[in-house]
Amino acid sequence: MSERAGRNGGGAVLELHDLSVRIPVSGGRWVEAVGGVTLTVGSAEIVGLVGESGCGKSTLGGAIMGLLPGGSRVAGEVLLRGQDLRGLAEEDYRRIRGDDIALVSQDPSASLDPTFPVGAQVAEAIRNHRDVSRRAARERAVELLRVVGIPDPGARYADPPHRFSGGMKQRVVIAAALANDPAVLIADEPTTALDVTIQAQILHLLRDLTVRSGTGVLLITHDLGVVAQVCDRVAVMYAGQVVEQGTVREVFAHPSHPYTRALLESQPAAHHRSGDLPVIPGRVPDLSEPPAGCRFAARCPRAHDRCAAPPPEIRTAGGGRVSCWLHHDTAREAR
């Protein structure tokens, strides 16, 4: 892990500044799915974004891709190599999608067009952005399929997706995503739909390919095991906000936020398989009326009076950041 820690020297390719997303729900109400997230992803760096289902991780990914459901409102900044993507005309955003920012989503069976040959779907990613002949795109697509580990890619090029296993389909999706050497890859639960044995292969493939091309990866997952395997840094998300971020080693060894700690304790691990897993009591707050103070306070074992006010963001000893009153007295504020 130490050799990976030194790799994020390529500069930030993706920066989110105070990014908020509000999504309209029935009855004229709004849900604040993402509330003020600040996060950077460096070149060739893999940043894990971890949290429970419904905490806004995927909405954050959608906001970066510019693919949120109609009517959603985005505030804050999404900077791609310093350029703000918000407010781009649709055609300009289209040119960026799949070229500078690519997506690998959760279920490869749902990501691929079931009626198109897999190879054509990779070639399409190339021809969407490069003015090359069909033949050249095809050759490049076969090469990409080979790189991601599809056996006999020339012959399998014309096969429809359903003749591939889930793991093989996700390899195809990765090939299409990396076809244009994107600066940023959003990997939204890329292994959740796959067998456990395949998960590690896909994760290592993703890591090898993105490190080689210098692509920065935002790896969205609910699985801390995945984060531990491949990520350099991790951001822990709760109810639409990042409550703690830092290097994987630091956050896992010394979790500062009570939520991070609870999340780590609720992971099934080999040494306490016999007993019941600890669970976090209570429920995620209703985000159509988010609490004014710390959003975790209602479930936090260490909550006290101060938690009714928004928690300060504080720099941890290991160089990370945590948003919690507990550390207010022991450390200096982050900004």
Interface with other proteins (CB under 8 A): 65, 67, 94-99, 102-103, 105, 107, 110-116, 124-125, 128-129, 160, 162-163, 173, 176-177
**Closer CB to other proteins, residue 213 or residue 334?**
213
**Closer CB to other proteins, residue 105 or residue 215?**
105
- 206 bridge partner residues: none
**Closer CB to other proteins, residue 43 or residue 170?**
170
Give min distance, CB of 115 to other proteins, in A: 5
**Closer CB to other proteins, residue 67 or residue 277?**
67
DSSP string, 209-250: HHHHHT-EEEEEES-HHHHHHH-SEEEEEETTEEEEEEEHHH
Give min distance, CB of 70 to other proteins, in A: 12
Give min distance, CB of 65 to other proteins, in A: 6
Between the alpha carbon of residue 40 and those of residues 57, 79, 233, 299, the distances in Å are 15, 9, 10, 28
Give min distance, CB of 103 to other proteins, in A: 4
Phi/psi for 55 (5° steps) reads -90, 0
Cβ count near 31 (within 10 Å): 19
Both tokens of residue 282? Answer: 């209570």
How far apart, in whole angstroms, are the C-alpha atoms of residue 135 and residue 179?
A: 15
Give min distance, CB of 184 to other proteins, in A: 12
Residues 120-127: contacts with CB under 8 Å, at least 24 apart: 120/157, 120/158, 121/161, 121/172, 121/176, 122/172, 122/175, 122/176, 122/179, 124/176, 125/98, 125/176, 125/177, 125/179, 125/180, 126/179, 126/180
**Closer CB to other proteins, residue 90 or residue 276?**
90
**Closer CB to other proteins, residue 68 or residue 251?**
68
Give min distance, CB of 124 to other proteins, in A: 6
